[in-house]
A and B are shown apart, each in its own frame.
Chain A
Amino acid sequence: MTSAVLEVEDLSVEFGTEDGTVRAVRGVGYRLDRGESLGIVGESGSGKSVTALAVMGLLPTGAKVRGSVRFEGTELLGLSDARLSDLRGSGIAMIFQDPMTSLNPVYNVGYQISETLLRHNPDMKQRDARKRAVELLGTVGIPSPERRVDSYPHEMSGGMRQRVVIAIAMANDPDVIIADEPTTALDVTVQAQILEALETARAETGAALVLITHDLGVVAGHTDRVAVMYAGRIVETGSVEDIFYTPRMPYTLGLLGSLPRLDREEARLTPITGSPPSLLNLPPGCPFSPRCPMRRDVCDTDEPALRRAGGDLHLSACHFADELVDTGADQVFDAVGADTEALARFADAAPATNPEEDPV
């Protein structure tokens, strides 16, 4: 238990809007051990990014945050901004989605990296910060970093800029790196390189990683555990194998079924019909029920709790999780061609999981 660097418990975030209260996050909990990596998967609007920003304490002032976020045993919620600032960038670092807008256009990248170094190392000299910035740029794979350190963001490509953002994130040897869709805004060809740079950053710093994405493929290759989010909640969580081989929540099944794959000619996608519910005035019951092919009456009245399904670490929020044993997306969703075999092959690429942890 003591090895956890980040523990999130029953976190909920609400925003007051003109039309009413938006419950963006509703009781999310996870636990991250030192050096471990967790993938958070979900559609846009499922609360992934809001959860991350709540952990960082970077939500706009209007947001109401409840629950608990503990970093190395220290409760972060309710901490003063000054204390939080000391932690941000050194204890927990964050990488944002769009590298084109993440860097300030009027400062060169060297300055922007030095800034975080000098902020957390008051005794560091300007010159040393610069030297370290060059090193960091080299580490994340930027060619001729001595020259690039004086470049402005607009002189770099999106992939280069995201490497700079990764360099900033790893600059102070953080214990946790939260990467919010770090590859979404980039070209497919660059995505793999950025994930590799992220791996390098992790290896160098030994940081634990929270990788937020909507791409199950990214999760499979780069994380130990997965949490699937829907409508502000975690609806299924487990090891990568659990999720890919034996999903116990129709939504997860749907996500797997809608993975585009190039490995099978006849493979057809099984889309999930409909769209996620509005988080404003969420009706009672399971939020996925309107889109769920397995929906029964109980789904419209009771929201299922996150319960054990299968292995000890495999939790699912579905009334009928047990019925889903050995079920493929094609059997649940009305489509032909999705096959679990290929999905399983995806999971093969994933590193083995750590069986001791207790995710909640």
Chain B
Amino acid sequence: MLAYTVRRILVSIPVLIVSTFIVFLVVINSGDPVANFATSRQPAPSKAAVAAFARHIHANQPVMERYWNWITGVLHGDFGPSVQANLNIGHDLFTRFKVTITLVAAAMILALIMAVVFGVFSAIRQYSAADYTITFFGFLFLAMPVFWFAVLLKQAGIWFNEKTGSQFLGTIGEKSPYLEVDTTWNQFTDHVGHLILPTITLALVSFASWTRYTRASMLEVLNSDYVRLARAKGLRRGKVMTRHALRTALIPLATVTALDIAIILGGAVITETIFQWHGMGEMLVQAATTLDVYRTMAWLLLSAVVVIGFNLVADLLYAVLDPRIRYD
């Protein structure tokens, strides 16, 4: 297993290099920050200033050399120059990562819990009114645009705060400003209050499809011969459910969850924008708008590492839980 893990990580490195190279090509060709610099400033910068700017952001280097310098730089902790003066991309990235990871983790946990609870319940009570209701809402949420739902939730949060006269449900930012001076407890509740609405929003991205997946997987197991044999052995319904059905049905969910991490990161961009968080979402939007090549690349690199890491963990988890899968 350890050998497998090491090998998987080693295999991921060339994948990461190739994929970041392709992305790099795409990014440097999808905007001209130098021209942008030359035309968008008031007063118009001098030719020398434009040339200096191009040199500063390495726009004058040949592509291969530019990529090489970037990737080797990253290994030393240097993520390259930003088009914004005085912006350390590495520092920016990790500050924002901490903000975003809280949201993503909270949303995934919420989505998983809801998916398992509703999916299993739906499967056990197949064709009941509850099953139809859950299925209907599953379809509805699957069709619901995240940004629309987020705006609606934000509005509901504002309404809730007005009604209760509290500021508990934060609708702007990941925390209140100037909070550092407050007590730990207040800081904590403030964080939680700001986390609630965005978490619900982001959980929605995957909750519906995971629920449907859980239901289908559970139904398949419940109708399987080995569950019937477990019953024929004399095991009670509850025990068959937990020991034979749930365990087997939920294993594949690990893979599905991992595969969806990229979608969740995309959803985080939308969620953070609407709730005005200073996380990775805002970073990507800003980087794309300002045609900031290295800031964009830093974002994409980190997300690629997260995706690969998640898939590796899922595969290992799968091997631990399912004896049919063995890596060596």
Q: In the complex, what residues of A have CB within 8 A of residue B232's CB?
A: 56, 58, 88-89, 93-94, 96
Contact B234 A165 (CB under 8 A): no
Q: Please indicate the chain A residues that have their CB under 8 angstroms from the CB of B76 in the complex.
A: none
**Cβ of B248 < 8 Å from any Cβ of A?**
yes
Nearest Cβ on chain A to B56's Cβ, whole angstroms: 58
Cβ-based interface call for A87 (8 A): yes
Q: Complex Cα distance A138/B225, Å?
A: 24
B19 to A: closest C-beta gap in Å: 34
Q: Would you call the interface of chain B mostly helix, strand, loop, or mixed?
A: helix
Name B242-256 residues within 8 Å CB distance of A. 244, 247-248, 251
Contacts of B323 in A (CB 8 A): 105-106, 108, 152, 154
B135 to chain A, nearest CB (A): 17
Whether B231 sits at the interface, judged by CB under 8 Å, is yes
CB proximity of A338 to chain B, nearest CB, Å: 36
User: Given B225, B236, B248, B322, which contacts A102 in the complex, CB threshold below 8 Å?
Assistant: B225
Stretch at the interface among A1-9, A78-86, A234-242, A297-305: A78-86
Can you list, as one digit per residue, whether each of B245-282 has a CB less than 8 Å from chain A (1) or not (0)?
00110010000000000000000000000000000000
C-alpha gap A115/B243 in the complex (Å): 11
A81 near B236 with CB under 8 A, answer yes
Least distance between A201 CB and chain B CB atoms (Å):
15
Whether B233 sits at the interface, judged by CB under 8 Å, is: yes
Binary contact readout A158-197 vs B (1 if CB under 8 angstroms, 0 otherwise)? 0000000100100000000000000000000000000000
A-B CB pair tally, cutoff 8 Å: 74
Within the complex, what minimum Cβ distance (angstroms) separates A51 from chain B? 15
Q: Which has the most chain A C-beta neighbours within 10 Å: B224, B226, B247, B321? A: B226
Check A89–B233 contact: CB distance below 8 A. Answer: yes
A82 with B236: in contact, given A106-B321, A106-B322 (CB under 8 Å)?
A: yes
Chain B residue at minimal CB-CB distance from A87: B234
Q: Is there a chain B Cβ closer than 8 Å to A308's Cβ?
A: no
Residue numbers in A under 8 Å from B17 (CB-CB): none
Say whether A105 contacts B233, CB under 8 Å.
Answer: no
At the interface, yes or no: B87 with Cβ under 8 Å from chain A? Answer: no
Count chain A residues whose beta carbon lies closer than 8 angstroms to a beta carbon of B.
Answer: 29
- Let me know if A86 and B234 touch, CB within 8 A: yes
Q: Which residues of A contact B251 (CB under 8 A)?
A: 106
What chain B residues lie within 8 Å of A56 (beta carbons)? 232
A115's partner among B235, B247, B321 (CB-CB below 8 A) is B235
Report if A88-B225 is in contact (Cβ < 8 Å); known contacts: A105-B324, A106-B247, A152-B323.
Answer: no
Known A-B contacts A96-B228, A165-B229; the reply to A154 vs B234 at CB < 8 A is no
B237 on interface, CB distance cutoff 8 Å: yes
A89 to B234, CA, bound (A): 5
Q: Which residues of A contact B248 (CB under 8 A)?
A: 104-106
Name the contact of A104 in the complex, choosing from B234, B237, B244 (C-beta under 8 A).
Answer: B244
The digit string for A94-124, where 1 denotes a CB below 8 A from any CB of B, is 1010100111111010000001100110000
Which of B228, B229, B321, B324 has the largest count of A CB atoms less than 10 A from its CB? B229
Choice from A98, A108, A119 contacting B233 with Cβ under 8 Å: A119
Instruction: State how many angstroms separate the Cβ of B131 from the closest Cβ of chain A.
Output: 13
Q: Is A90 an interface residue (CB 8 A)?
A: yes
Residues of B within 8 A of A115 (CB): 230, 233, 235
Are A104 and B236 in contact, CB atoms less than 8 angstroms apart?
Answer: no
Which B residue's beta carbon lies closest to that of A115?
B233
CB-contact partner of B226 in A87, A94, A101, A119, under 8 A: A101
**Centre residue among B225, B235, B251 by max chain A CB count within 10 A:** B225
Contact A102 B229 (CB under 8 A): yes
State the CA gap A102–B233 with chains docked (Å).
Answer: 12
Contact A119–B234 (Cβ < 8 Å): yes
Assembled-state Cα–Cα distance A108/B322 (Å):
11
Sample (6) of A-B pairs whose CB atoms are under 8 Å apart:
A93-B232, A106-B321, A116-B233, A116-B234, A165-B229, A168-B229
